[in-house]
Amino acid sequence: KEVVFSAIQPSGTITLGNYLGAVRNWVTMQNEYDCIYALADLHTITVRQTPAVMRKNIIDAYASIMACGIDVEKSLFFIQSHVHTHAELAWALSCYTQFGELSRMTQFKDKSAKHADNINAGLFTYPVLMAADILLYQADKVPVGADQKQHIEITRNIAERFNGIYGNVFKIPDGFIPKNGARVMSLQDPTRKMSKSDENVNGCVHLLDTPEVIMKKFKRAVTDSEAKVRYAEGKDGVNNLMAIYSAVTGLSYEQIEKDFDGKGYGDFKTAVGEAVVEELRPIRERYEKLVADKAYLESCYRKADEIALKISSRTMGKVMKKIGFI
Ligand code: TYM
């Protein structure tokens, strides 16, 4: 079976964007692949965290992702900081990564503009740690949203460079980006991606929002003055709602346009909101049960951490030997 690897930062609550862009595919891929997933908590400290909040976020994110349908009997779901090979391989690979190529990463440019008071070295080398995550498990496919495309590209470049020097050490991974939902935009500013750190709370739908809150956010979503449900350039708000609706219901854009022909945006927003509410309802219910059982959650990640260490140590050992460490 091919190996799938992906990870998510536990830097706040999981969003509808995370779910439609990535986590939903993590769930479906479990039946076909050997799946390995991680909470990328080492990546999270590239932005300053409050310790108590960070501890809570990690547990909440672990429970949320499990609630989405990750089956720990089928897949590995571990915590990155518990598996020391990640930081080790990141260091080694950083010596095979050029300053220039990291400087071209658009996420680094965006984040350093946003956190101008804390442009730390970890923020800069962030893609190297991500490459280490993926390459340690010899992953074939990496299910992510469109915003991670450049990071997958640099992972491939680093791996090819390393293989070019030492022979075939790493499998070259492919990104797996969904046709629908790869780039969910803010409901308040549909030219920007939906993000946990949106200043406008109405722009971002969280996985654990109540049905009332979800409906309110969709009803307030920014649209345009044409009052016609159709997918077209310049209709960013409507395009985004159509993309979300299509991702959740499986309906094509043509079908959606037909179904809402002659109807106003009010009806459409209500339909999108209701579809999202129904998609997220079982997740929130499972989350409530899971998060109440901390001992069970701990037993799940301890078991996965141990297996992840075993698997990743094989690659790490090979890397050390190839480089020339004794
Ligand atoms: P993170 O935590 O920002 O996001 C997790 C996943 O959600 C996707 N995503 C979106 N998809 C669609 N629309 C959006 N608005 C949206 N926002 C986020 C992301 O593309 C991602 O797939 N660097 C990664 C975490 C990571 C990782 C890895 C991923 C660490 N190591 C190894 C893959 C493989 C990140 O910050 O994702």
* Token pair for 207: 């996985």
What's 219's domain CATH number?
1.10.240.10
What is the whole-number distance in angstroms between the Cα of residue 23 and the centre of ligand 1?
9
pLDDT tens-digit series, residues 48-81: 999 999 999 999 999 999 999 999 999 999 999 9
What's 16's domain CATH number?
3.40.50.620
**Catalytic annotation on 322?**
no
Single out the catalytic residue among 74, 109, 196, 321: 196
Give the mean model confidence (pLDDT) for residues 182-198.
93
pLDDT, position 197: 80
Question: Is residue 145 domain-shared with residue 8, that is, in the same domain?
Answer: yes
Question: Is residue 88 domain-shared with residue 220, that is, in the same domain?
Answer: no
ipTM over 0.95: yes
Nearest to 176 by CA among 2, 3, 22: 22
CB hemisphere CA count around 147 (13 angstroms): 18
Within a domain: residue 283? yes
Question: Is residue 141 domain-shared with residue 254, that is, in the same domain?
Answer: no
Question: What is the number of the ligand 1 atom nearest to the C-alpha of 22?
Answer: 22
Cut 0.90: pTM above it:
yes
Question: Is residue 248 domain-shared with residue 162, that is, in the same domain?
Answer: no
Q: Which of 3, 5, 18 to mutate to test the pocket of ligand 1 (most atoms within 8 A of CB)?
A: 18
pLDDT tens-digit series, residues 135-150: 999 999 999 999 999 9
